[in-house]
């Protein structure tokens, strides 16, 4: 009986110890779930951009877009500024994603742990439509794009890097495509 009580005590003692790794597993599962939901939002965003019908309700009120363009007058755009920019871009150009969409998990700002953010490296074809005096002109641009989300699943930060200056120079006849 003494051995049985000792074994039972040991079982209860070890069974009541908290496994420190459970918190890590729970956090990783929550991040993976957030990445899955956020990836669906990014896919809707890409579809909306390509169809020139972006649903801006996926953006948070405090959203900002990093302005990574050469010579940018300020470092970011608000949601209202981005809406105006999008409208102008759609009026002037046609956009078509020409690569497979592979969404990858992003990491926390200033760290290396996944945080539910989403990034991808798309290849877009951009066309300047023909006018009465010019032919249509198209080129492709490789981008890096990332999306950060708040706890409500809304996009709070977006950034895209690519050679936009070179693209625009080519489309407007001020440069030649690099082969």
What residues does each domain of the chain span?
2-171
Query: pTM score, two decimals?
Result: 0.81
CA-CA distance, 46 to 161, in Å (whole number)?
15
Under 8 Å between Cβ of 124 and 96: yes
Q: Per-residue confidence at 7, pLDDT binned at 50, 70, 90?
A: very low
Pick the CATH number of 2-171 from 3.10.450.50, 3.40.50.1110, 3.40.50.1370, 3.40.50.2300: 3.10.450.50
Measure the CA–CA gap between 79 and 20, rounded to whole angstroms. 41
Average pLDDT over all residues of the chain: 87
Report the DSSP pairing between strands 59-66 and 155-161.
parallel
Q: What angle do CA 117, 119, 122 make, to 5 degrees?
A: 160
Mean pLDDT along residues 95-114:
91
């Amino acid at each position: 009986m003494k051995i049985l009580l000792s074994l039972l005590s040991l079982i209860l003692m070890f069974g009541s110890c908290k496994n420190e790794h459970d918190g890590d597993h729970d956090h990783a599962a929550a991040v993976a779930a957030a990445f899955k939901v956020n990836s669906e939002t990014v896919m809707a965003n890409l579809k909306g951009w390509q169809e020139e019908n972006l649903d801006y309700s996926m953006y948070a009120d405090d959203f900002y877009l990093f302005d990574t363009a050469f010579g940018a007058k300020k470092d970011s755009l608000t949601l209202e500024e981005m809406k105006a920019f999008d409208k102008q871009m759609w009026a002037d150009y046609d956009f078509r994603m020409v690569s497979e969409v592979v969404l990858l998990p992003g990491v926390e700002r200033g760290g290396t742990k996944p945080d539910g953010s989403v990034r991808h490296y798309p290849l877009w074809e951009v066309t300047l439509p023909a006018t009465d005096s010019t032919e249509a002109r198209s080129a492709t641009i490789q981008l890096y794009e990332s999306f950060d989300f708040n706890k409500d699943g809304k996009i709070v930060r977006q950034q895209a890097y690519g050679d936009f200056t070179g693209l625009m120079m080519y489309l407007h006849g001020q440069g030649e495509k690099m082969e």
